[in-house]
Amino acid sequence: MKIMVTGGAGFIGANFLNGLVPELREHQFINVDKLTYAANLGSLKAIDSLPNYALRRVDITDMDGVDAVFDEFDPDLVVHFAAESHVDRSILGPREFVRTNIEGTFNLLEACRKRWSGDDNRLFHHVSTDEVYGSLGDTGLFEETTAYDPSSPYSASKAASDHIVRAYHRTFGLPIKITNCSNNYGPMQFPEKLIPLMILNAVSRKPLPIYGQGLNVRDWLYVTDHCEAIWSVIQEGRVGRTYNIGGNNEMQNIEVVDTLCQIVAEETNTDVAELHALKEFVTDRPGHDLRYAIDASRIREECGWEPTETFDTGIRKTVQWYLSNQAWVRDVLSGEYRKWMDLNYGDRAG
């Protein structure tokens, strides 16, 4: 099989490729990635010289570029990770989110529609987020039937992309599947997101900026569990169907930060009080969703998927990964990253 992965140099795409390329030598993989700030070729070192892997630098908002890579590779399966993915960036600059997440997804669908007419052996797998459902109150879970109610430009752009993917199935019969997953954490995540940001700031004794009171709740899933969930839906899921993916690990942000202080202290022989003293409650994110939580019974029952990591095991592995991959971290903490830190945190009261 020929498998096209978009956004394979980003956090989840790279974990997906690192898991599958060496295992599935009989399949060909092509990684279609614009290589934005969020991409890191250092995440692909273990696979980049394997004969069943190739990279093409393509911006999915460029239809000609998309057509060219489809003509070259003729994929049987497209696993679509490429996106602008950070909520805070979507607040400070929404345009790229509309372009990449909506128009880019549309271009990929068009490329498939033009080539796959009537061929049911192909599949477009769309990787999406639980943030499309908006915010929960203190109780309840997101189900696949929950109405879309996105709050941020990021989640609104992902919601729009989900709708277009579904429309291409209903209108043109394109074989698609969609997964909507909760918050991921793990190795190779760009440190603008909560968990790697807190780990690296704690290690270098910088402030730990907690939005509002730190009471917002996220359901955390270790990234390789997400990758295995996607693969299980590709193999076992029904065409045209949506599957929610979640880890049953609901935690308030403040609990996550406290846990990270504890583990970083243990792993680096530091006094935990010194790390707790770095916590700062800062101006909240506008439109900050209170709580996300997932009912993952459909994927469990139809695809037989269960997460293998608990939050305790996954979070320790994650801290250890950042501590022992200094070269990857150094590469990431470039000028571009420092500019982002000034832009996002500069005006928040410390």
Residue 253 makes contact with ligand TYD by CB under 6 A? yes
Work out the angle between the directed axes of helices 194-203 and 253-268 (0-180°, nearest 10): 40
Q: Which is nearer to ligand NAD, 58 or 275 (CB)?
A: 58
In angstroms, give the least distance from the CB of 33 to ligand NAD.
Answer: 5
Task: Identify what 230 binds: ligand NAD, ligand TYD, none; CB under 5 to 8 Å per kind.
Answer: none
CA–CA dist 231, 245 (Å, integer): 12
Q: How far is the CB of 161 from ligand NAD (least distance, A)?
A: 8
Q: How far is the CB of 106 from ligand TYD (least distance, A)?
A: 23
Phi-psi category of 126—alpha, beta or left, where left has phi over 0 and alpha has psi -120 to 50? beta
Active site residue 131: yes
The binder of 12, among ligand NAD, ligand TYD, none, by C-beta within 5 to 8 A per type, is ligand NAD
Residue 184 binds: one of ligand TYD, ligand NAD, none (C-beta under 5 to 8 A by kind): ligand NAD
* CB 129 to ligand NAD: min, Å: 4
| Residue tagged active-site, from 33, 53, 88, 154 | 154
Query: How do strand 77-80 and strand 123-129 relate by DSSP bridges?
Result: parallel
Whole-number Å distance between alpha carbons of 97 and 156: 9
Nearer to ligand NAD, 61 or 249 (CB): 61
Distance, C-alpha 342 to centroid of its chain:
23
* Residue 276 CB, nearest approach to ligand NAD (Å): 26
By CB under 6 A, name the binding residues for ligand NAD: 6-7, 9-13, 33-36, 38-39, 59-61, 81-85, 100, 104, 127-129, 158, 181, 183-184, 190
Task: Identify whether the C-beta of residue 20 lies closer than 8 Å to the C-beta of residue 26.
Answer: no
Residue 50 token pair: 């394997």
- Of 126, 158, 218, 291, the residue at the interface with ligand TYD (CB under 6 A) is 218
Type of residue at 43:
S
User: How many Å is the maximal CA-CA distance in the chain?
Assistant: 63
For residue 41, what is the DSSP state?
A: G
Of 6, 310, 296, 346, which is closest to residue 141 (Cα–Cα)?
A: 296
Residue 216 interacts with which of ligand TYD, ligand NAD, none, CB < 5 to 8 Å by class = ligand TYD
Which residue stretch of 73-81, 156-164, 203-211, 312-320 sits at the interface with ligand TYD (rule: CB under 6 A)? 203-211
Q: Residue 270 and residue 241: Cα distance in Å, rounded? A: 48
Contacts (CB under 6 A) with ligand TYD, residues 87-116? 87
Size of the site for ligand TYD (CB under 6 A): 12
Q: Which is nearer to ligand TYD, 36 or 216 (CB)?
A: 216
Choice among 33, 130, 258, 289 that is catalytic = 130
| Interface characters, 166-195, with ligand TYD (x: CB under 6 A) | -----------------x---------xx-
Question: Which residue type occupies 248?
Answer: N
First to last CA, the chain: 52
Catalytic residue status for 168: no
154 a catalytic residue: yes
Which of 132, 98, 229, 233 has its CA nearest to residue 175?
Answer: 233
Q: Name which of 138 and 271 has its Cβ closer to ligand TYD.
A: 138
Residue 200 CA to chain centroid, in angstroms?
19
CA distance 101 to 89: 13
Among ligand TYD, ligand NAD, none, the one that 210 touches (CB under a kind-dependent 5 to 8 A) is: ligand TYD
Strands, sheet with 217-222, edge to edge from the N-terminal-most edge strand: 183-185, 217-222, 250-252
Q: How far is CA 253 from CA 149, 192, 209, 292, 309, in A?
A: 22, 15, 11, 12, 19
Centroid of chain to Cα 36: 14
Active site residues: 130-131, 154
Residues lying near ligand TYD in the complex (CB under 6 A): 87, 183, 193-194, 197, 209-211, 216, 218, 253, 285
